[in-house]
Amino acid sequence: MVDVSALSAEEKANLELAHEYMRIAYTPGLGSGENVAHLCAADNSFVGPTTFPGTDTLEQYADAHGELMTKLDDLHFVSFDIEMVQGDRVAFRYTATGTHKGAPHGDIQPTGKQATWTASALFRCENGKLVEFVKEWNKLPMWEQLGWPVEECLTYTNA
C-alpha cells in the first residue's frame, strides 16, 4: 500500500479517484460506463488492445468489464499488490478472482470453475478527472482456468 502521509493533496485525490473507478468498474452489477462517467474527463482514452479490442474510452471499458462480470458474478479483488502514485499518475498491480457461475460465455454454459489472475492499471488524472487508463492484462491464464476458448485471447488490434 501507498504511504498516504507522504503524498501531496493532489496525489491523494488522484489515488482516491483511481480507486473509486476500480471499485465501480469491478463490482458486479455496478460496473458500467454510466456509473463511472462522473469520474472521467470528457475526452478520455483507454489503451489496452489485447484486453478488450475496440474499447477506446474509460466508459466503454467499464461497460465491457460489466458484461464480463455477468459471467463472473462474484468477481472481486484479492489484493492490490502494488500501488504507486506520482503526480498525475496512479499505478496498480492487482490480483482478482471470479467464478463462471453467471451468464454463459458464448455457447459455454456456466462451468463453475474459478480463476485467479493479475493485471496492471496505469491512470493519468487531470483536474480531478481520469483522462487515461492503460491496462496490461494477459487474460490467457484466466481463460484457461475457466475452460473458455483460448483463441479469444489471441486477438490483437494495433489501434
CATH number at residue 93: 3.10.450.50
pTM above 0.75, yes or no: yes
User: What's the total number of domains in the chain?
Assistant: 1
Query: How far is it, in rounded angstroms, from Cα 108 to Cα 96?
Result: 22
Whether residue 103 is contained in a domain is answered as: no
Whether residue 81 is contained in a domain is answered as: yes
pLDDT recorded at residue 157: 45
Whether residue 74 is contained in a domain is answered as: yes
Query: How far is it, in rounded angstroms, from Cα 43 to Cα 104?
Result: 34
Whether residue 133 is contained in a domain is answered as: yes
Whether residue 158 is contained in a domain is answered as: no
Under a CB-based contact definition with an 8 Å cutoff, are residues 55 and 44 in contact?
Answer: no
Among 105, 117, 106, 112, residue whose Cα is nearest residue 76: 117
Whether residue 154 is contained in a domain is answered as: no
Query: How far is it, in rounded angstroms, from Cα 74 to Cα 88?
Result: 32
pLDDT recorded at residue 158: 42
pLDDT recorded at residue 49: 77
Whether residue 106 is contained in a domain is answered as: no
Q: Which residues of the chain have pLDDT under 50?
A: 157-159
Domain that holds residue 27: 4-97+118-137
Whether residue 157 is contained in a domain is answered as: no
